[in-house]
């Protein structure tokens, strides 16, 4: 008995067929949904050619991510930040934008006490190669990949000297095309991506329905109307056109609350249809 067939077209069903040909009774589908959930990144990559995308967000009770001057350390408490490290550890890659690199200078590595874990690939979407060679990204263990659409040999060489891999992708409205970036990560056999970004890039992932899952940490604090928003998104014409999500899980993490949400079935179906071959 097996749970779910391998979605890889090169092997899908081959093992079961060989066993049946040898006279062995084979049954599949035992806890199939649970098996696919456990391996959602691999199944997504095999079916769509791109990784499963989890968008991590942290906000105040009034939906703000930082003060107007950019101060954001720390909205959430230490338990929530440690929880994020566990999500990084389960991800194949952590994706951010160059704006976050310039504003916060994050390491984006996994730092958990008493554990020596595999580090995820750290990916920076940097349309104009503005990542500083002295960024803390390069001080942490693991690999750094910069995806850009800028043809700047000098900057690319300087970043390459710090150990970064530089890849050039098509641009879209002056920025690295997100669809192309996810396709490239799929080619690199990246199964799960954790996106940790500012409101501009987070808004793009949401606007284009590229986030399969939201991981939202809510801190018991109010930042006020002038503070920075969660995501840069246009207002829908009506509530009927608002993007909706289904709540999968709610946890208390230290002094904060963590919500895990997924696209509502209709939105997910439309996005999958748009990504299907021939559309």
Residue 4, by phi and psi: left (phi above 0), alpha (psi -120 to 50) or beta? beta
Per-residue pLDDT reduced to its tens digit, 231-273: 999 999 999 999 999 999 999 999 999 999 998 765 555 555 4
CA dist., res. 77 & res. 220, Å (int): 10
Residues 20 and 77 both lie in one domain: no
**Prior bond to 74 cis, omega within 30?**
yes
- Asked whether residue 16 falls in the same domain as residue 66, the answer is no
Quick: pLDDT tens for 153-189: 999 999 999 999 999 999 998 899 999 999 999 999 9
- What confidence score (pLDDT) does residue 63 get? 94
Q: Pick the residue with more confidence: 6 or 128? A: 128
The pLDDT, as a whole number, for residue 274 is: 44
Q: What is the pLDDT of residues 190-224, one digit of tens each?
A: 999 999 999 999 999 999 999 999 999 999 999 99
Please compute the mean of the pLDDT values over residues 119-135 and round it to a whole number.
Answer: 97
State the pTM of this model.
Answer: 0.86
CATH number for the domain spanning 120: value is 3.40.430.10
pLDDT in tens, 37-54: 888 999 899 999 999 999
Nearest to 267 by CA among 211, 216, 217: 211
Same domain, yes or no, for 43 and 9?
Answer: no
Residue 238, in any domain of the structure = no
6 and 140 assigned to the same domain: no
26 and 109 together in one domain: no
CA 122/CA 5 separation, integer angstroms: 31
| Same structural domain, 160 and 260 | yes
Give the residues across from 175 on adjacent strands.
Answer: 172
Instruction: Label residue 126 by pLDDT band (50, 70, 90).
Output: very high
Is the pLDDT at 71 greater than 50, yes or no?
A: yes
54 and 159 in a single domain? The answer is yes
| Rounded Cα distance, 144 and 160, in Å | 10
Residue 137 has pLDDT above 70, yes or no: yes
How many domains is the chain partitioned into structurally? Answer: 2
Res. 275 pLDDT band, cuts 50 70 90: very low
183 part of a folded domain? yes
Looking at every residue in the chain, the average pLDDT score rounds to 89
**Percent of residues, the chain, with pLDDT higher than 90:** 71
* Structure confidence at residue 166 (pLDDT): 97
Q: CB neighbours of 214 closer than 8 A, spacing ≥ 6?
A: 54, 55, 57, 245, 259, 260, 261, 262
Q: Give how far Cα 254 sits from Cα of 40, 80, 89, 219, 257, Å.
A: 28, 7, 20, 10, 8
Residue with tokens 């092997």: 11
Residue 239 within any structural domain of the chain: no
Report the greatest alpha carbon distance in the chain: 70
Same structural domain, 18 and 142: no
Do 21 and 118 share a domain, yes or no? Answer: no
- The pLDDT of residue 34 is 83
Same domain assignment for residues 144 and 167: yes
Any domain includes 240:
no
- Within a domain: residue 10? yes
Q: Which is more confidently placed, 148 or 17?
A: 148
Domain range spanning residue 156?
39-233+245-275
Q: What was the pLDDT predicted at 277?
A: 37
**Which is higher by pLDDT, 245 or 113?**
245
Q: Which residue has the higher pLDDT, 1 or 248?
A: 248
Residue 4 and residue 79 in one domain: no
> Is the domain of 119 the same as that of 7?
no
């Amino acid at each position: 008995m097996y749970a779910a067939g391998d979605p890889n077209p090169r092997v899908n069903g081959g093992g079961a067929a060989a066993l049946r040909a040898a006279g062995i009774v084979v049954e599949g589908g035992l806890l199939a949904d649970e098996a696919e959930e456990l391996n959602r990144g691999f199944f997504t990559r095999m079916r769509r050619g791109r990784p499963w995308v989890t968008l991590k967000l942290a906000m105040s009770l009034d939906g703000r991510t930082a003060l107007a001057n950019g101060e954001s350390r720390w909205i959430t408490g230490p338990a929530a930040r440690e929880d994020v490290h566990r999500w990084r550890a389960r991800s194949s890659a952590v994706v951010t934008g160059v704006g976050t690199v310039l504003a916060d200078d994050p390491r984006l590595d996994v730092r958990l006490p008493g554990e020596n874990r595999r580090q995820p690939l750290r990916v920076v979407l940097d349309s104009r190669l503005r990542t500083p060679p002295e960024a803390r990204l390069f001080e942490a263990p693991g690999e750094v990949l910069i995806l850009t659409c800028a043809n700047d040999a000098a900057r690319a060489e300087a970043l390459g000297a710090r150990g970064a891999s530089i890849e050039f992708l098509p641009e879209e409205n002056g920025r690295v095309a997100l669809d192309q970036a996810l396709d490239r990560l799929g080619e690199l056999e990246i199964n799960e991506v954790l996106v940790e970004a500012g409101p501009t890039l987070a808004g793009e992932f949401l606007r284009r329905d590229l986030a399969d899952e939201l991981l939202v940490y809510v801190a018991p604090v109010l930042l006020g109307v002038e503070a920075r928003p969660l995501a840069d998104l246009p207002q829908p014409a009506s509530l009927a056109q608002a993007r909706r999500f289904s709540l999968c899980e709610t946890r208390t993490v230290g002094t904060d609350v963590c919500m895990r949400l997924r696209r509502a079935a209709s939105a997910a179906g439309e996005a999958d249809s748009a990504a299907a071959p021939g559309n």
